[in-house]
Structure 1
Amino acid sequence: MILPRVVSAEWRKTVTLPASWTGAAVALLGSLLITMLNAYAVHADPGGRAFVAPLEIAFTAMPLGTVGATVIGVSVFSSEYTNDRRITTSLAAVPGRVLTLAAKAIVVVLFIAVVAAVTMPLTIGAARLVIGETVSVPEAVARCLGATLFWILSGLIALAITVFTRSGVVPLVVLIVNSSLVSFSLLLSKISSLGFWLPDMAGRRLFGGVQATEGGLGTVPGALVMAAWTVLLLAAATAVFNRRDA
């Protein structure tokens, strides 16, 4: 079959990109560092701790992994438009642009899923090691799956936006600022309920008990809205990629 071969080729390209591993390192080391800092602060002052359970401490850091997922999603496509313009070779080797973009999307999903599968258990384990309290396995699994889905959808949205711009600079700056410094949808939600329907605000409850602000959509409706945004952006990106010159 053609698709598995194209996915395999795209996977090999992705694992050779320094930017992909930079994204993975940001997600893993960033989440782990924030978790350890919070956990030791709680351990040093148990009477005044804001987060009681190790899960709460761990998942407070998980949104930082969105930055790593964004870097991965952007780099998978923007790498085609570097100085050597590998896009021409990629399109010549694959019969169809839709197939190329589909393979890249699959690789983004798989790569982020692997990063999440390593990062989240390590982060939860580190919090539990420092705090010394038990963790509910079913709750931990559910919250890990939700956070992984948020990371994956964020990476796919980053991929779609990068298709529009071709360059990775603008998507990286805008999306990283939005996910780590100033959330534009969060600011909008302060003045209008429309902010809750934007992707990151809609899906924020996928992290479980971690809440940025009150109100908005529930976990399942929010996940569906974020997924709908992802599908819409990918469909638009596919149409643009399929019609314009390489």
Structure 2
Amino acid sequence: MLTMWGTLVITHASGTTGVDPWALRPAIWANLGGVVLAWVLTALIAFAVGVLARSAILPLILIVPLVIGVGDLLAGLWSGAAWLPVAAGAALYSDPAAGTHLDPLAGGLVQAGWTLLLLGAAAVSFVRRDL
């Protein structure tokens, strides 16, 4: 969180955007919180997929393309893709007026649901296989 705040401070202090970097507005804090929550949930999803697959390769193959933009591309092409975990998480920090993502609350709940579902499956799988 501190790194993101520092990035905003440096970015806006070096530009002429008119944003006071030392007194961030509530909307900016909400955006930062959305980014942090989305990335934490994405990391937990990757962890759960790794536990289910017993390998770090599958989470890399699945999550990295979604994070670098395939999820947003799919959300723009197919309305059902907005319910995928990374695209739903992007709703936490994206502009809802763009229309490609869910509302921030709905996106957060969808990504949290995916996270809980996958973590639950990973826990059951781990207990049955590895204990």
Both structures adopt the same fold (TM-score exceeding 0.5): yes
* CA–CA distance in structure 2, aligned partners of residues 197 and 174 of structure 1: 16
**Aligned-partner residue type, residue 182 of structure 1:** V
What SS does structure 1 have at the residue aligned with 2:130?
Answer: coil
State the match for 2:4 in structure 1.
120
CA 130–209 in structure 1, closer or farther in 2 if over 3 Å, else same: farther
| 1:223 shift after superposition | 0.7
Structure 2 contact 96–102 (Cα < 8 Å) conserved: no
TM-score, normalised by the number of residues in structure 2: 0.83
Q: Per-residue deviation at 1:215?
A: 3.5
2:92 is matched with 206
Does structure 1 conserve the Cα–Cα contact (< 8 Å) formed by 2:49 and 2:58?
no
In the aligned structure 2, how far is the partner of 1:155 from the partner of 1:245?
22
Residue 139 (structure 1) shift: 1.8
2:27 aligned with 1:131 = no
- Corresponding residue to 2:125 among 212, 237, 240: 240
Query: Matched residues in 2 for 1:201 and 1:160: separation?
Result: 18
Please tell me whether the aligned partners of residues 186 and 196 of structure 1 are also in contact (alpha carbons under 8 angstroms): no
Structure 2 CA distance, aligned partners of 1:187 and 1:141? Answer: 28
Q: CA deviation at 1:156?
A: 0.6
Match among 187, 192, 215 for residue 100 of structure 2:
215
The two structures have a TM-score, normalised by structure 1, of 0.47
The whole-number CA distance in structure 2 between the counterparts of 1:129 and 1:188 is: 33
Other-structure match for 2:39? 151
The match for 2:112 among 227, 231, 234 is 227
RMSD (Å), alpha carbons = 2.2
**Cα distance between partner residues in 1 of 2:129 and 2:64:** 27
Q: Which amino acid aligns with 1:207?
A: Y
Greater Rg over alpha carbons, structure: 1
Equivalent residue for 2:77? 190
Q: 50, 59, 68: which is aligned to 1:171?
A: 59
Unaligned runs of at least 5 residues, structure 2? none
Runs of 4+ deviating beyond 4 Å: none
Deviation at 1:173, TM superposition (A): 2.8
SS in 2 for 1:196: helix
Structure 1 letter corresponding to 2:77: K
